[in-house]
Chains A and B, each alone.
Chain A
Amino acid sequence: MVFGIRGLEDLGKIRISFLGAPRYIVSGLAGDLRLVTKIPRSSRWMSMLGDDNSAERLVPDILVYNEEGFYRQVDNWSKGQLISINDRDFVYTEIKKNKAKYFVLNVKLPSDITPGIYELLVRLESVTFSMIKKEITIKLEVLPFALDPADKYILAMSNDFGTPRSKYFEAALIDQSEHGMNATRMRRLVNKDDPEKYYQILKKNGFHTVMHDDAPVNKDAAVHKRYGIKQIFYGIDEPQPKRRFNNSWNRMLKHLELSRRIHQMGGLVGTSLPYLFGVQLRVPGSSVYVKLPSHKLKQKNLFEPLDWANYPLAVQKLGIKRRRPLNQDLWQYIKGLQQEYETGQIEPNGKPSSKHSWSETYYLPLGFLRYPFYARLLYGFYLFNSHLDGVCAWTYYRPKGNPFDDSDGIDATLAYPTLEGAIASTYCWEAVSKGVNDLRYALTAQKLIKELKKIKSASKSELAYKLEKEFLRILAPFKSLEIRDDTDTKRIDKVFSNKDLQRAREKLIGIILKASQSLGTALK
């Protein structure tokens, strides 16, 4: 949760600590309280969001414990320096008169906690003015059900520490897993590496899929599942003709040749490319194959469809009039899937009838990840409504120079490695995690409605029908990223906010409670 504290008087330097609840009331409950920093960032990738042409924007960024200590490090940053973020039991900051500070409190509930109402305490005390002391009560309501794990989705946030011997290899996986990710990218293992060790680390942290940056070395390494982890090998990134490569088809040719090599070893191939190219690669003789430079073709009958396609959402021009997004065919495809889902044209696997057989995910520009509303929506309700198989965005930690200053190059950063060997989170990374939980609430509601439908009882069927109708109504506002009415088309963030996502989640909780009570599965 996030909350703000505004000083009506000067509060001076303050310590604010999460006390939680007494251990005899609830044991195993962990809380982490951090301060939200705000950092000016270049709006290069964010200007795609529309109507603001300012060169930089203030972005809620890294979460820290000691604000003064953090800014001291940023001000004295030297090349290659990592930030030190010591885990602390309290946040140390300053609140002046009429100024507000924002805090993120993450509470991790033990899985055996008894449902009910608990009181958690946060204590604030001023170091400057000893008489200022305050305890803030937070009501914790533990709901009587567990969430669906969302394992049928591919949820990934690239991984810039996926080199097996990176100091942050395991720390990054732990961090990604804690933020709901279940798929990750990995660099090639070298001869002396024990593959089982690395796959066990993936498994231990709940990952079910790994995308390899490099082609497999042999058939053994190319198997579809290795040590219980599904493997996909990445081809050439965005191989479609692009203006900056003179609209050449050479990269597509390279991609297809690489795909052939991987397929011949028995491996699965994936890459990021626009929807239309992904579909055409599945059709022998389609324009993708026809346009390849014939004088460079070494192999005849090149036909290498993708096993996993990561489509750009092409939201860059969202809501900008007369500049329609390029990827309209993807949006039309999603719209078609939504119509089939609503009219019950569903396959036994739960997917709409026209859903392609290969894995389909989408990715989005950095600017959208720096925008908490989109970060949450695109990993949450929009993903559910898209009926695609997941999200795989590319930004985790790719700074240029000082990671907290965009004037020396734009930093694509959603999390930061720390001097202590851990990964420090950001506000927007927390928003992604919140989105994954939204998705899990939707999946839980969907599953319970399905279970209710299976019971042969008039009253249960009636309830299932009623809840399903309500379920579709709750999620309907998040079906498209553009909201159209008779006169205008608006970006979704101009119409809805985080509050609407939270309200939708609350309503889903209502559905889950009714369904689980009727099924008799509510936890006690």
Chain B
Amino acid sequence: MNFKRKLPIIAVLASIMLLIVWGGRLYALAGRVEAPKQAAIMEVFYPEQLSVNLPEESFSPTKLWGAAPELKIRATPGEID
């Protein structure tokens, strides 16, 4: 088979490939395909206070990741906090 006769087949295959690639991209861009979410593996929190005679599980921590604010320090120049 000469090249001229192969050309339509090549064009059809290339079009299909382009369609798959670009179609996939467009589909993802439209937000219909989401990257798999990484499950939360830890939480950071402020313990209200480390008191005596309390096993760690009975502290009532405030969750800081997610909707809660970040860890925060307020201090003055020269201060050790």
Determine whether the beta carbon of A137 is less than 8 Å from that of B78. no
Determine whether the beta carbon of B76 is less than 8 Å from that of A142. yes
**Interface positions of A from 472 to 518, Cβ below 8 Å from B:** 497-499, 506, 509
Instruction: Judge whether B35 is part of the interface by a CB distance below 8 angstroms.
Output: no
Residue in B46, B75, B76 whose beta carbon sits within 8 Å of that of A3 in the complex: B46
Instruction: Judge whether B52 is part of the interface by a CB distance below 8 angstroms.
Output: yes
Q: A11-B41, A138-B72 are contacts. A4–B47 as well, Cβ < 8 Å?
A: yes
Question: From residue A11, how far is it (CB to closest CB) to chain B in Å?
Answer: 6
Determine whether the beta carbon of A142 is less than 8 Å from that of B81. no
**Interface positions of A from 47 to 69, Cβ below 8 Å from B:** 52, 54, 57-60
Query: Which among B4-12, B13-21, B24-32, B54-62 touches the partner chain?
Result: B54-62
Instruction: Judge whether A7 is part of the interface by a CB distance below 8 angstroms.
Output: yes
Determine whether the beta carbon of A8 is less than 8 Å from that of B49. no
Instruction: Judge whether A147 is part of the interface by a CB distance below 8 angstroms.
Output: yes
Query: Nearest A residue to B81 by beta-carbon distance?
Result: A107
Instruction: Give per-residue flags for A393-414: 1 if the beta carbon is below 8 A from chain B beta carbons, else 0.
Output: 0000000000000000000000
Question: From residue A174, how far is it (CB to closest CB) to chain B in Å?
Answer: 12
Determine whether the beta carbon of B78 is less than 8 Å from that of A58. no
Query: Nearest B residue to A141 by beta-carbon distance?
Result: B74
Determine whether the beta carbon of B52 is less than 8 Å from that of A6. no
Residues of B within 8 A of A5 (CB): 42-45
Q: A8-B42, A373-B51 are contacts. A1–B77 as well, Cβ < 8 Å?
A: no
Instruction: Judge whether B2 is part of the interface by a CB distance below 8 angstroms.
Output: no
Determine whether the beta carbon of B75 is less than 8 Å from that of A142. yes
Residues of A within 8 A of B59 (CB): 4, 100
How distant is the Cα of A498 from the Cα of B57 in the complex, in angstroms? 18
Residues of A within 8 A of B48 (CB): 497-499
Q: A6-B42, A7-B42, A139-B73 are contacts. A106–B55 as well, Cβ < 8 Å?
A: no
Query: Nearest B residue to A41 by beta-carbon distance?
Result: B52
Q: A46-B52, A140-B75 are contacts. A2–B70 as well, Cβ < 8 Å?
A: no
How distant is the Cα of A1 from the Cα of B34 in the complex, in angstroms? 38
Residue in B44, B54, B78 whose beta carbon sits within 8 Å of that of A4 in the complex: B44
Query: Which among A110-118, A186-194, A291-299, A451-459 touches the partner chain?
Result: A110-118
Instruction: Judge whether B67 is part of the interface by a CB distance below 8 angstroms.
Output: no
Question: From residue A30, how far is it (CB to closest CB) to chain B in Å?
Answer: 9
Residue in B41, B49, B55, B77 whose beta carbon sits within 8 Å of that of A497 in the complex: B49
How distant is the Cα of A243 from the Cα of B57 in the complex, in angstroms? 43
How distant is the Cα of A134 from the Cα of B38 in the complex, in angstroms? 12
Determine whether the beta carbon of A11 is less than 8 Å from that of B81. no
Determine whether the beta carbon of A112 is less than 8 Å from that of B77. yes
Question: From residue A131, how far is it (CB to closest CB) to chain B in Å?
Answer: 9
Residues of A within 8 A of B64 (CB): 3
Query: Nearest A residue to B80 by beta-carbon distance?
Result: A108
How distant is the Cα of A100 from the Cα of B36 in the complex, in angstroms? 27
Determine whether the beta carbon of A3 is less than 8 Å from that of B50. no
Instruction: Judge whether B71 is part of the interface by a CB distance below 8 angstroms.
Output: yes
Instruction: Judge whether A99 is part of the interface by a CB distance below 8 angstroms.
Output: yes
Q: A2-B50, A498-B48 are contacts. A7–B78 as well, Cβ < 8 Å?
A: no
Residues of A within 8 A of B72 (CB): 1, 138-141
Residues of A within 8 A of B81 (CB): 1, 106-107, 109, 434, 437
Question: From residue A436, how far is it (CB to closest CB) to chain B in Å?
Answer: 10
Residue in B44, B50, B53 whose beta carbon sits within 8 Å of that of A136 in the complex: B44
How distant is the Cα of A380 from the Cα of B4 in the complex, in angstroms? 92
Residues of B within 8 A of A146 (CB): 76-78
Question: From residue B45, how far is it (CB to closest CB) to chain A in Å?
Answer: 5
Instruction: Judge whether A523 is part of the interface by a CB distance below 8 angstroms.
Output: yes
Query: Nearest A residue to B65 by beta-carbon distance?
Result: A136
Residues of A within 8 A of B40 (CB): 8
Residue in B39, B45, B56, B71 whose beta carbon sits within 8 Å of that of A99 in the complex: B56
Question: From residue B75, how far is it (CB to closest CB) to chain A in Å?
Answer: 6
Question: From residue B23, how far is it (CB to closest CB) to chain A in Å?
Answer: 32
Determine whether the beta carbon of B55 is less than 8 Å from that of A58. yes
Instruction: Judge whether A371 is part of the interface by a CB distance below 8 angstroms.
Output: yes
How distant is the Cα of A58 from the Cα of B80 in the complex, in angstroms? 27
Residues of B within 8 A of A178 (CB): 80
Residues of A within 8 A of B44 (CB): 3-5, 136
Query: Nearest B residue to A101 by beta-carbon distance?
Result: B56
Determine whether the beta carbon of B71 is less than 8 Å from that of A136. yes
Instruction: Give per-residue flags for A290-313: 1 if the beta carbon is below 8 A from chain B beta carbons, else 0.
Output: 000000000000000000000000
Residues of A within 8 A of B76 (CB): 109, 142-143, 145-147
Instruction: Judge whether A326 is part of the interface by a CB distance below 8 angstroms.
Output: no
Query: Nearest A residue to B79 by beta-carbon distance?
Result: A109
Question: From residue A17, how far is it (CB to closest CB) to chain B in Å?
Answer: 15
Instruction: Judge whether A433 is part of the interface by a CB distance below 8 angstroms.
Output: yes
Q: A2-B50, A4-B61, A497-B49 are contacts. A141–B73 as well, Cβ < 8 Å?
A: yes
Query: Nearest B residue to A512 by beta-carbon distance?
Result: B76
**Interface positions of A from 423 to 470, Cβ below 8 Å from B:** 427, 433-434, 437
Residues of B within 8 A of A185 (CB): none
| A/B interface sample: 20 pairs, CB < 8 A | A2-B47, A3-B47, A3-B64, A4-B61, A5-B42, A5-B45, A7-B41, A57-B52, A105-B73, A109-B81, A110-B78, A132-B41, A138-B73, A141-B74, A146-B76, A146-B77, A372-B50, A372-B51, A498-B49, A499-B48
Residues of B within 8 A of A (CB): 39-57, 59, 61, 64, 70-81
Closest 4 CB pairs of A and B: A498-B49, A111-B78, A57-B53, A60-B50
